[in-house]
Structure 1
Amino acid sequence: MDATRSDSLLRRTGLTVLLLALVFGGGQGHPGDALTQLAALVLIGVLIWRTPDIRCWPKASLWILPPLLALLAFLLPWPEAWRVAGAARGALSQHLAPLIGGLPATGALRPLAAERALFWLLPAIALYLAGLQLDWRARRMLLQTAVAVLAVGAVLGLAQKAGGIDSALYFYRNTNRGMAVGLFANNNHYAISLACTLPLVWAGLVHLAGQREQRHVHPLRFALPAGIALLFMLGFLLSGSRAGLLLGMAGCLLMLPAVIAADRHTGAKHWLFALMAVGLFLAVQLGLYFISLQFVPNPLEDSRWQIFAGTRTAADAYAPLGAGPGAFWYAFQHVDPFLGGPKMVNHAHNDYLEIWLELRWFGVLAGALLLGAFLWQGVRVWFMAGRHSVRATLMARAAWVGLLLLLLHSLVDYPLRTTALSALAGLLAACVVWPRGEPGVSGRSDGM
């Protein structure tokens, strides 16, 4: 098969995985997650068949290793003394023994949960590796598809809000009824999905404006992306998510330097354009923020602070090795009495605390390596982009801002534990790396 047909197959398979993730992966533990994981396995198979020599893959492919090695460390057999190290880990191991049965004695107290965590990574890893091997146009097509699907979800969210708690438009049984959730089960995940893709919409608008400087672009072509931008802002306003609203505003402000740098005007026109952009962003975002105050409850009434405290207590109890991947629910239940109340706590609502509880230093090391790579690539796209085209730089900066918003949201929620948002994060991470086919870049992507 020639290179053109091979690229086409990779694009189509990647598009399939992305669509399955965004449409059916908005909850947790549903058939759509398994379907997306199977499609991701197919995509990884296409990648290996297409380039069987791993040495020919972009250097940035190596950044999938830290999380994989951290999980695999818990799937390997451990000495019995390690498995029951610490009173809390020993007690939980004894409690879970009837559930585990004859499974091998690995470092994970719940081996099947650890395997599910590995499968959960597949869509993100597959889209990341595929994105690294795609050129700028193919990446843009995938990002445009993501924006289009989320725009449909935003319209659905408005209809859900209008329909009230009895609306038949909610797709999940356990969901935030009465709020806008779109294709997701959780209103916070819906809000951050719009917030992290809004920078891509701004990038598209600026790219259109740059095209108009070179050739005639009909003004109506601006109507669709401008309408999507307003739809997204209205979407995370009506979601009732404080974090989604604040991060959406932050994303717009963080995109301002990229918008100004991409402006082709000179002299006074350049600064006039910059002031207009700042004024527009601030006026719209601050206006939406003050309007939303009447819909949002007092943050001090939020039970997250209790969950954070309980998770820190549980993490201390399971030192030094952690409870193992997927063991949060059991570990939290054994240490903190919060679960005795009316609410079920399935996650810490802070991914970093949850990783600290489950993986301890394995997770810290993997996370530090990935965060370092992310920050270094941010330095590259923001301060070392002189030899790259404006369009590739603008897309890389928008993807970096979107990924940053997801990482920040993980401080108060668990967005990356849903298939839809983890897959989107994998695609954004690939788009932060310089694509093939751009000025100053050879036939391969630059490594992080």
Structure 2
Amino acid sequence: MALQLIPLPPALWTSLPGRSSVRTVADVIGSTQPWRPISLTPDLTLNTLLSLLPPAAILVGIASIAREDRMRLLSVILVGGGVSVVIGLVQITSRDLYFFRITNPGYPVGVFANRNHQAALVACMLPMLGVFAGLRQGARAGAKLQAAFAAVAAIALLPFVLANGSRAGLGLAIAGLAAGLILYAGHQGAWSSLTRSRAWRLSAGAAALAGVVLVGAAALYSRNDAITRISSATTAEDQRFQFIPQMTHMTADFFPVGSGFGSFDSVFRSYEPSEALLRTYFNHAHNDALELAIEAGAFGFIVLTVLLGWWATRAAHYWRDMSRDSSARRFGRLGSVVIGILFVASLVDYPLRTPLLGCIFFVAACWMHLEPTGRTQKTD
């Protein structure tokens, strides 16, 4: 991002792809070409760069604390997520307490402006509750109480998912609930005696059970907007898919340097078809992989490929042998699930562009680097 802000001489920036319309402006008014950076919207690129400060602060803070303290962040995230859920309940009951002018009124968006982002947070909380439920082992009253609290919290979140009305959130919640069941079963040693094929069948069963639970809740719950939107909406009606040809064209026009981080809205306006013009505006691509390619070009492809490769490698490290159990492995698996949920959510929206979910992403990444202790055990 910083490189995209460095001013370049006219002979250099005018030769970059996708700059012909900018170059024409000075030619028409008879002015000399000024020095310009790679970014077509340097102010927005600077804003994007500054938006990385909260996740960077989280990363620096986590690096300076002990491994046990990194695990304790789970409770902090769950409490913060719970606060957002409570705010969402107030929003749907009082139609008030929205923090942003442009939002989804009437829906429980919590501390966010977008209901899809709140749904992604809830989906991440479900596997976290599975790990939280098994933090205390044994038959002690405290362990049973903590597991019961986590179960009640997970059940309480299900109507919230349906009231949110997010189609992507419903699917992610099913995945998150299934992952939570699997992670909790791992805490209880249920995986230690299973073969790999039986483990996969059990995982599929957990996913099916999670789906049945949510669909059953939808049948009993009067406000099942997510189910209704799935059955009624078509691809052509959803701008996220309708504008894919234009966004693909944008990627090709600005490749390999990109148009600059934060420039999507400004650049897309010159590609938006006239028949699709509305009083609203298309602020993001609602597909972060595609938006990254538009704004960062080849560099974006490289970063995304490296990130996906790292995640797949670390996830395989923790999930390959489910019979081995330790605190590091539990949190490593949880981190892989949380990042996986946010990756999938990013294919239909932009959750990682919010400070809160960006910080959770970095915490989950740090959990994936809690190295196993090297001994097989069921409790720590």
What range describes the TM-score normalised by the shorter chain of this pair? 0.7 to 0.9
Cα distance in 2 for partners of 1:219, 1:299 equals: 43
TM-score, normalising length from structure 2? 0.82
- Helix, strand or coil at the partner of 1:137: helix
Q: 1:392 Cα deviation (Å)?
A: 2.3
For 1:151, the equivalent position in structure 2 comes to 82
Deviations 1:67-120 (A, max 9, x none): xxxx2332334453442236742214666999xx99953222222222222111
Change (3 A) 1:246 1:288: farther
**Among candidates 286, 300, 304, match of residue 367 of structure 1:** 304
Contact 1:157 1:182 in 2 (8 A): yes
TM-score normalised by the chain length of structure 1 = 0.71
Equivalent residue number for residue 100 of structure 2: 172
Post-superposition offset of 1:195:
0.5
More divergent stretch after superposition (198-207 vs 253-262) = 253-262
The separation in 2 between residues aligned to 1:289 and 1:113, in whole angstroms, is 41
Paired AA for residue 375 in structure 1: A
Aligned to 2:347: 411
CA 334–125 in structure 1, closer or farther in 2 if over 3 Å, else same: same
Pick one of 212, 217, 230 that aligns with 2:155: 230
Match of 1:68 in 2: none
1:426 partnered with 2:362: yes
Distance 1:360 1:308 in 2: 16
Residue 70 of structure 2: which of 139, 144, 151 is its match? 139
- In the alignment, structure 1 segments of 5+ residues that lack a partner are 1-70, 442-448
Choose between structure 1 and 2 for higher RCO, CA contacts under 8 A separated by at least 6 residues: 1
Q: Distance in 1 between matches of 2:207 and 2:18?
A: 53
Cα distance in 2 for residues equivalent to 1:418 and 1:157? 17
Contact 1:307 1:349 in 2 (8 A): no
Supply the distance in 1 between the matched residues of 2:54 and 2:305 (Cα, whole angstroms): 22
Alignment-derived partner of residue 328 in structure 1: 264
Q: Tell me which residue corresponds to 1:390.
A: 326
Look up the SS of the partner of 2:259 in the other structure.
coil
Shift of 1:425: 1.0
**Structure 2: distance between partners of 1:217 and 1:150:** 23
- In the alignment, is the contact (CA less than 8 A) between 1:109 and 1:323 conserved in 2? yes
- Measure how far apart 1:405 and its partner are: 0.5
- 1:420, 1:96 → 2: CA distance? 41
Mapped partners of 2:86, 2:171: distance in 1: 21
Give the Cα separation in 2 of the matches to 1:207 and 1:350: 35
The secondary structure found in structure 2 opposite 1:212 is: coil
User: Matched residue of 1:217: which SS?
Assistant: helix
Write out per-residue CA displacement over residues 290-336 of structure 1, whole angstroms, 9 at most, x where no aligned residue: 56355426331322212333212222232342211221112111122
**Matches of 2:2 and 2:360, distance apart in 1:** 24
Aligned to 2:229: 296
> In the aligned structure 1, how far is the partner of 2:254 from the partner of 2:22?
10
Q: Which moved more, 1:315-324 or 1:83-92?
A: 83-92
Q: For residues 106 and 360 of structure 1, do their structure 2 counterparts lie closer, same or farther at Cα, with a shift above 3 Å needed?
A: same
> For the structure 1 residues 397 and 87, does the alpha-carbon distance in structure 2 shift closer, same or farther, using more than 3 Å as the test?
closer
- Is contact 2:7-2:35 (8 Å) kept? yes
Report the alpha carbon displacement of residue 200 of structure 1 after superposing the two structures with TM.
0.7
> Is the 2:124–2:341 Cα contact (8 Å) retained in structure 1?
yes
Matched AA of 1:373: W
1: CA distance, partners of 2:2 / 2:100: 32
How far off is 1:426 after superposition?
A: 1.2
Percentage identity across paired residues of the two chains: 29
- Whichever residue aligns with residue 160 of structure 1, its letter is Q
One-letter identity of the residue aligned with 1:299: A
Bigger mean CA offset, 406-415 vs 368-377: 368-377
1:101-154 alpha-carbon deviations (Å, 9 max, x no partner): 999532222222222221112222221343244333312322211111111211
SS for the counterpart of 1:182 is coil
Q: Structure 2: how far apart are the matches of 1:96 and 1:324?
A: 20
Please list the CA deviations of residues 43-70 of structure 1 after superposition, one character each: whole Å capped at 9, or x if unmatched: xxxxxxxxxxxxxxxxxxxxxxxxxxxx
Which residue number corresponds to residue 30 of structure 1?
A: none
SS at match of 2:269: helix
Q: Structure 2: how far apart are the matches of 1:80 and 1:222?
A: 64
Which range is displaced more, 278-287 or 422-431? 278-287
Match status 1:186 vs 2:114 = yes
**Distance in 2 between the 1:224 and 1:103 partners?**
62
Q: Which residue of 2 aligns with 1:241?
A: 166
Q: Does 2:321 correspond to 1:346?
A: no
Q: 2: distance between equivalents of 1:156 and 1:137?
A: 30
The equivalent residue for 1:307 is 243
2:214 pairs with one of 266, 280, 285: 285
Distance (whole Å) between structure 2 residues aligned to residue 317 and residue 429 of structure 1: 33
Deviation at 1:257, TM superposition (A): 4.2
In 2, Cα distance between equivalents of 1:102 and 1:80: 6
1:192 positional shift: 0.4
Are the structure 2 counterparts of residues 349 and 259 from structure 1 closer, same or farther at C-alpha, using a change threshold of 3 Å? same
Hey, which of these two has a bigger chunk of helix by percent? 1
What SS does the aligned partner of 1:204 have? helix
Q: Aligned partners of 1:314 and 1:331: how far apart in 2?
A: 8
Q: How many residues align?
A: 356
Within 5 A, what are the aligned runs for 1:57-136?
Answer: 71-85=1-15, 88-92=18-22, 105-136=36-67
CA distance in 1, matches of 2:250, 2:288: 14
Distance 1:186 1:421 in 2: 12
Change (3 A) 1:433 1:103: farther
Q: What is the correspondence of 1:196-211 to structure 2 with a 5 Å cutoff?
A: 196-208=124-136, 211=137
Q: Is the 8 A contact 1:399 1:429 kept in 2?
A: yes
